Amino acid sequence: MFKQLFNMKSYEEELKTFSWNIAKEELGYKDGDNLNIGWHCTDRICNSGKSEKLALIWEDHKGEEKRYTFDDMRVLTNTIASYLQKLGVNPGERVCLFMDKVPELYFGFLGILKMGAIAQPLFSAFGSESLLTRLENAGTTAIFTQKKHLPKVRNIVAKLPSLKYILVVDDDGVKPLREGEYSFKMEQEEKVYDFEVYPSKAETPSVLHYTSGTTGQPKGAQHVHYSIISQYITAKYVLDLKDDDIYWCTADPGWVTGTSYGIIGAWSNGVTQCVMDAGFTAENWYKFIEKHKISMWYSAPTAIRALMKEGKDIVKKFDLSSLRHLCSIGEPLNAEAVIWSEEVFGLPFLDTYWQTETGSMMVSNYPGMKVKPGSMGKPFPGIEVTVVDLQTHLPLEKRGIVGMIAAKPGWPAMFRAYWNNEATYKKKFENGWYLCGDRASIDEEGYFWFVGRDDDVINTAGHLVGPFEIESALLEHPAVAESAVVGKPDPMNMEVVKAFVALKPGFEPTKMQELEIMNFIRKKLSPLAMPQEIEFVDKLPKTRSGKIMRRVLRAKEWGEEIGDISTLENDM
């Protein structure tokens, strides 16, 4: 008898029969019921008979391991939820997770949701300034962190009146904690076996993820518990997660991929996943796959290109035969990477496309569907996606024309607001479409082909970096009079940050000055925001009204047509 190879039917058949009700029924949810992501990823899985199944295999840079069953995870997330509740954190308040990829980050996320608060994951490499911007905007009440990151929090706590509780997960008692700081050792706390999960509904806020923009500070994309409907079924269909899979999502939960598919998608499907809290080397990654017999691998094009650079011979040192399905996310996956992965792994990496704001996959390549190397694939069943005219924002009828990617609102994981920024949220919607801000074309067979961003946001190694935040930080350096930041092409990271800087009188444009400014930004914001190159200029291109024209600088870097410069105040 024929056994279906993949969870998803053929793409064409799925388009005809798909309904979000499939996910609702499998998750045991009916409209109007309570819906809590934390409960659905832990208690529900245990209730289905998988209490003793491994949920998490965690490994650090020394190769030391920790293993947790779904019941371990259920109890530990209860313990975290109860602790926060007793501490005085209320439902709806924001609780930040500012840690490396330690188990407390993953379980803390679910524990926060279980007691009704809003999880606010942030990348642990952020500096004090980036942290302050996001905590201040969110009015964050509590933060989980580690000793190594505690100084960054202490630097800014006086500016954050709403931040009442600082929880240190690895406090060793050597140095006394300050007022408002608490030692929270997850596995040493009194375990809570039964916890009354907060009765959240579909539209109850769940996660606040910050994303960068071209102007103004980063924006908090607010998601709701109903997002699990999308995340569950896309993980099942696109990642093809099965009960016996060992899954590895390499993304940090500081970014949306690490929560939507590094926590919610996998565990709502009851799948065992691995986490490696260590830096990247090809050897370490291949050793990790071999050791844990990883079968489904979700990674980023930057990492794939880094593996390509190491060559094919190193792959032969390891037994990677456990791999059966590979997917990619974060930036366009170039055709060469797809072809290379087929050669060395016997499997193509399948590109997926979505955003912080969409919460789940929008356009993807699917198991069993013809892969066109370099293409984003086709819209996920149940989601209407098109490209719209760049000026009118109306759908383009002719195929092959470049327009802006747009989606019809209504899929479950769509963000519901920008935190305290309704005006910007409304601007994302026009003519009945959500405007993604990315350009693409659609070919005759319905495959999407990525072209680039429609704004000045920089995509470096799959992470979006806002130029405004970097420019603002640059102006705080004593030598900088004016600055402009753009993305510069890079073969490994797709783009890197390049800054154009006009110095104040008395400062010289030396190599030492460049390095000093670079390190200033690295410490203040993050390694991702640090310019990889600084070009010192006498003046920046501006409109007559004084607005810096980044597009002129960007066009020169990318070898593009500069376009209309009639509004320029000066020529460069």
- Name the nearest CA neighbour of 77 among 46, 33, 99: 46
Tell me the CATH class for 11-439.
alpha beta
Q: What pLDDT score does 557 carry?
A: 86
Which residues partner with 560 through β-bridges? none
Distance CA 428, CA 382 (A): 21
Q: How far is CA 246 from CA 29, 243, 271, 368, in A?
A: 26, 9, 7, 20
Tens place of pLDDT per residue across the chain (572 aa) = 234 589 999 999 999 999 999 999 999 999 999 999 999 999 999 999 999 999 999 999 999 999 999 999 999 999 999 999 999 999 999 999 999 999 999 999 999 999 999 999 999 999 999 999 999 999 999 999 999 999 999 999 999 999 999 999 999 989 999 999 999 999 999 999 999 999 999 999 999 999 976 666 899 999 999 999 999 999 999 999 999 999 999 999 999 999 999 999 999 999 999 999 998 999 999 999 999 999 999 999 889 988 998 989 999 999 999 999 999 998 888 888 999 999 999 999 999 999 999 999 999 999 999 999 999 999 999 999 999 999 999 999 999 999 999 999 999 999 999 999 999 999 999 999 999 999 999 999 999 999 877 777 788 877 878 787 888 889 889 999 888 899 998 888 888 999 999 898 899 999 999 999 999 999 988 898 899 999 999 988 876 556 677 878 888 888 876 654 444 454 43
Q: What pLDDT score does 562 carry?
A: 63
Buried b (16+ CB within 10 A) or exposed e, 505-533: eeeeeeeebbeebbebbbebbbebbbbee
Neighbours of 33 (CB within 10 A): 12
Q: What pLDDT score does 566 carry?
A: 40
Can you say whether the dihedral through the CA atoms of 30, 31, 32, 37 is positive or negative? positive
Q: How far is CA 350 from CA 239, 316, 461, 518, 571, in A?
A: 9, 22, 17, 35, 44
pTM of the model: 0.88
Distance CA 438, CA 431 (A): 17
Domain boundaries, the chain: 11-439, 458-558
Q: What pLDDT score does 563 carry?
A: 55
Strands 480-490 vs 494-503: parallel, antiparallel or unpaired = antiparallel
Q: What pLDDT score does 212 carry?
A: 78
Token pair recorded at residue 190: 């009194």
Token pair recorded at residue 197: 């999960």
CATH tag, 458-558: 3.30.300.30
Q: Which residues contact 339 (CB under 8 A, 6 or more apart)?
A: 348, 373
